[in-house]
Amino acid sequence: MHYEGNMIRPPSEAHSILLQATVGCSHNKCTFCGTYRGQRFKIKSDAILDADIDFAARHCRNQRRLFICDGDGLIIPQRRLTALLAKIKMRLPWVTRVGVYANTKSIAMKSAAELAELQRLGLGIVYMGLESGDDETLKRICKGADAGRMIAAGRKVRQAGIKLSLTVLLGVAGRERSAIHARETGRVLSAIDPEYVGALSLMLIPGTPLHADYENGRFALIGPREMLTELGIMLAHTHMTNGLFHANHASNYLPIRARMPADREKTLDLINRALDGDIQLKPEYLRAL
């Protein structure tokens, strides 16, 4: 398989075939992210992707899922993306689900009919970084969209019959707007009603604008208990009809997995017990991105 530059994938795609169709991120402006700093976004050639699919056809016959890397695969023009999905379906017929990262820009560029076409060709899940539902926080972290655009994008994906997984980032609002960030994020999650929500806890990366703000006293990084309090507020304001809310990423201080709405109250009680000191939080040295 042909890989270049830094490459990331969702934790749930750990055992998937990783097909790197793009290099970098089409947005690449988020102040907290250092993954693609200095890396120019590009779409790989059809020849490279054809060779990778041929390799997967020979060597990846036990993997039932495929993830199209990298930072925003949905930005690939519709004709090329449908052709790619058709090749995957034809040459890797045992693959039951294809996943991809997306942002509000790439989702807006696809019509409802185009998204439905992608779904018919095997696109089963879209991962989108919401990070926050607070417009002021979204502006500060240069996310490139406000809460209204996030809601519209998320609903558009779901209406196409594609599963949606949203990432939210605890601590990204700093101390000043922590509670507002938590409440507004819960509101936006409720409005979108995705199948999956993954909560990560902020870890500052040297070389990023947010890390520079922290070092210069312009950003206050909240501590473990404040992160947990933020998670509790967010979860209390999140109303999903039938989704999974989890915070079991390596960055989190307390792993949780809640089937919504059935497990919400039980999980809130777990968070409160941790805040009371009855449950030990993950030590700092065990956290990771």
User: What pLDDT shows up at residue 118?
Assistant: 98
Please state which CATH number belongs to domain 11-286. Answer: 3.20.20.70
Give the relative orientation of helices 78-91 and 112-120 as an angle to the nearest 10 degrees: 10
DSSP 192: H
Neighbour-count burial of 277, counting CB atoms closer than 10 A to its CB (0-12 exposed, 13-18 middle, 19+ buried): exposed
- Angstrom distance (rounded) from CA 137 to CA 143: 9
User: What pLDDT shows up at residue 133?
Assistant: 98
The answer, yes or no, to whether the previous bond of 261 is cis (omega within 30 of 0) is yes
User: What pLDDT shows up at residue 289?
Assistant: 67
Residue 183 and residue 135 in contact, taking contact as beta carbons nearer than 8 Å? no
What are the residue ranges in the chain where pLDDT is below 50?
none
245 token code pair: 């809310």
Identify any residues that bridge with 168 across adjacent strands, giving them in sequence order.
131, 199
284 token code pair: 């700092």
Runs of H (alpha helix) within 92-146: 104-109, 112-120, 135-140
Identify any residues that bridge with 125 across adjacent strands, giving them in sequence order.
99, 163
User: What pLDDT shows up at residue 251?
Assistant: 85
Residue 67 backbone phi and psi in degrees, to 5:
-120, 125
Identify any residues that bridge with 258 across adjacent strands, giving them in sequence order.
245
7 token code pair: 């490459």
SS3 274: helix
Q: What pTM was computed for the model?
A: 0.95
Hey, what long-range contacts does 36-43 have (CB within 8 A, 24 or more apart)?
36/5, 36/6, 36/70, 36/71, 37/207, 37/208, 39/5, 39/6, 41/71, 41/72, 43/75, 43/76, 43/80
- Angstrom distance (rounded) from CA 48 to CA 2: 7
How far does Cα 145 stand from its chain's mean position? 15
Identify any residues that bridge with 22 across adjacent strands, giving them in sequence order.
43
Residue 126 and residue 92 in contact, taking contact as beta carbons nearer than 8 Å? no
Report how far apart the first and last C-alpha atoms of the chain are (Å, whole number): 24
